[in-house]
Structure 1
């Protein structure tokens, strides 16, 4: 939507939604997700509970909305910072960027992301239309076209395996309560996995 064409009411709604998101994340960071109530968020923002539900279905919906930011940031990162010539290295960079974002958000938020994936945000998180899914698939396809990556499996099949891997290591980091170096362990594991996909 072109912001220049917004009505005053539409602009106000966008600003209110932004305030709800920012206030929610501030409170969650300070008190923990389970300790923050919707009524507390509303009080901080200065809206009614009904006003909250006009923008979000639940507290879990906030987590999903915040995490959608990642796809936008990833696309920007790919367009402006991904300079590796080797497609295997590009895949590694994409996965490391994914886990870096999760680490930055923190274990508590990531745990809630997984809960939201199970109950509220399944459609978004596993959608083939997600930028993460599309970017990864396109990178794999280019790697196959360049004879860097095996062609015994389709780009979609390889993409699905890589996303299952990244979700798995993030889940493992959560159940270990973030007590190991996520980036280092991801780097080791993704290299081991991609070694099986290299065209010898």
Structure 2
């Protein structure tokens, strides 16, 4: 796909606002960062911010879209050659890595904000994140690795509940422990609950 110079500039501006905002949120906390501060530090007007984002919560939706992109570009190719069980473990570990990378305050605000738009996006079953998860489970069911007592979609929802539950606890405990190690500790028990 070829972009015009105007479209490229718009994408670059949106990305600069986004990166500045996420960096500020990591340093100061979501509630302590204003749109004015984001714009000032990024070198844009509030009008430019609102051209790309409807609200500060839209930054969180963009973050989840970036996670989807990460799964398409980075995670999906690295699933090849792994067993279904290894794929599922890797998939969930990578999500822990993403959560740790954005920081506890950002994760906490994913749960706290819960606007309709954010909630709808987090629960969208057509997101690449969810579709990849369903495919891993469906393949595992076809190979008699994972139970078929529930559909692949239901088991994927179960996995999503596990993932969000661990993240929620981590955020509510203010990141008091290493989320990646905690996920690794729980993961084997969790995955056994899916196996035949």
Counterparts of 1:31 and 1:179 in 2: how far apart (Å)? 17
Question: What is the SS of the residue equivalent to 2:176?
Answer: coil
2:123 is aligned with 1:110: no
Which ranges of structure 2 fall in alignment gaps of 5 or more residues?
Answer: none
Counterparts of 1:56 and 1:76 in 2: how far apart (Å)? 24
Aligned to 2:41: 44
2:173 is aligned with 1:158: no
Aligned to 1:121: 118
Relative to 1, partners in 2 of residues 1:92 and 1:118: Cα closer, same or farther, differing over 3 Å?
Answer: farther
2:76 is aligned with 1:79: yes
Larger mean Cα displacement after TM superposition, 113-122 or 156-165: 113-122
Aligned to 1:198: 195
User: Residue 196 of structure 1: CA displacement?
Assistant: 2.2
Counterparts of 2:81 and 2:184 in 1: how far apart (Å)? 16
User: Residue 83 of structure 1: CA displacement?
Assistant: 4.4
Aligned to 2:13: 16
User: Residue 142 of structure 1: CA displacement?
Assistant: 0.4
Instruction: Find the structure with the greater CA-based Rg.
Output: 1
User: Residue 122 of structure 1: CA displacement?
Assistant: 1.5
> What TM-score do you get using the length of structure 1 for normalisation?
0.90
**Which residue of 170, 173, 184 corresponds with 1:173?**
170
User: Residue 40 of structure 1: CA displacement?
Assistant: 1.4
Q: Is the 8 A contact 1:61 1:121 kept in 2?
A: yes
Aligned to 2:87: 90
Structure 1 outlier segments of 4+, above 3 Å: 116-120
| CA deviations over 1:67-93 (Å, ceiling 9, x no partner) | 321111112233332245321121111
Aligned to 2:180: 183
User: Residue 28 of structure 1: CA displacement?
Assistant: 2.0
Equivalenced residue count is: 196
**Which residue of 122, 133, 138 corresponds with 2:135?**
138
Q: Is the 8 A contact 2:26 2:102 kept in 1?
A: no
> What TM-score do you get using the length of structure 2 for normalisation?
0.92
| CA deviations over 1:102-157 (Å, ceiling 9, x no partner) | 01111011111223444441221111111111001001010011111111111111
Aligned to 1:26: 23
Root-mean-square deviation over aligned CA pairs: 1.7
Question: What is the SS of the residue equivalent to 2:54?
Answer: coil
